[in-house]
Amino acid sequence: MGDRIKTGIRFLDFFLSGGFQVPGFIHLYGEPGTGKSTLGYHLVSRLHEQGEKAVWLDFNHSFSIKRLISMAKDSSIVRSVALLAMSAHGQFINTLSKLNTLMVQARLLVLDNFTYFYQLSETQEKKGTFYTMFHHQLIRILALLRRQRALGLLINQVRSTLDGTFYPIGGQLINELSRYVLTIKKSGQQYELEIIKGEPNQILIPFILKNDGWRVLEHGVKS
């Protein structure tokens, strides 16, 4: 089965054959407010229960300590996550040089929302430059994850076409570098997690968002 990191979400770990396999990236994308960061909180909470640590790079200042503590029901969880706010792309580049040290004791690296600076680019030329840099930076991070036997969660936003189709920001190369590709869509009063790449793939897992995080509706799973 290999080394896996559990989410701690009832039924989701079952469908993932025991959790997310490491090392590698999870590329998770979807519209705002669909519970993407909440999955990261679940992973941090589960690692905290096991005495393990995480590193969280917060690109758009959306990380909520209050939400994390509420879900974990343990205020000491703040000692299990190293939070770094990314205010500029140059700061992210400097942080990359320190990741080897930061990740020594960590099993999880979260980048939320890692295409934020790409989205702020005003011209296609700048977007192309950021895209190339992101690709090279992700390759560096992936090499680190492999050395550390760690998991990387890449949280991403989406754009939509005229026909309403959603696609992740940053291009398909991100998917190619990822062990798992997941997307979340809102469906009425609930959400659907689609596993596009990984094991199992082409599966839809419905869930709702509660105060304690995701609650999977196991009877609605479709493959």
What would the pLDDT profile of 91-138 be if each residue is shown by its tens digit?
A: 888 899 999 999 999 999 999 988 887 776 656 666 667 678 888 899
What's the pLDDT score for residue 126? 64
Which tens digits make up the pLDDT trace of 34-86?
A: 999 999 999 999 999 999 999 999 998 999 999 999 999 999 999 999 999 99
Mean pLDDT over 21-27 rounds to 97
Return d(Cα 145, Cα 186) in angstroms, integer.
31
> What is the C-alpha separation between 18 and 27, in angstroms, rounded?
19
CATH of 4-189, one of 3.40.50.80, 3.40.50.300, 3.90.1200.10, 3.30.70.1400: 3.40.50.300
Predicted confidence at residue 1, as pLDDT, reads 42
| pLDDT, tens digit (0-9, with 9 covering 90-100), for 82-102 | 999 998 878 888 899 999 999
Give the start-to-end residue ranges of the domains of the chain: 4-189
pTM of the model: 0.93
Question: For residues 24-44, b (16+ Cβ closer than 10 Å) or e, as one string?
Answer: bbbbbbbeeebbbbbbbbbbb
Q: Say how far apart CA 130 and CA 115 lie, in whole Å.
A: 9
In contact, 32 and 145? CB cutoff 8 Å: no
Task: Give me the mean pLDDT over the 180-192 stretch.
Answer: 93
**Tens digit of each residue's pLDDT (9 = 90 or more) over 192-202:** 999 999 988 88
CB atoms closer than 10 angstroms to residue 55: 23
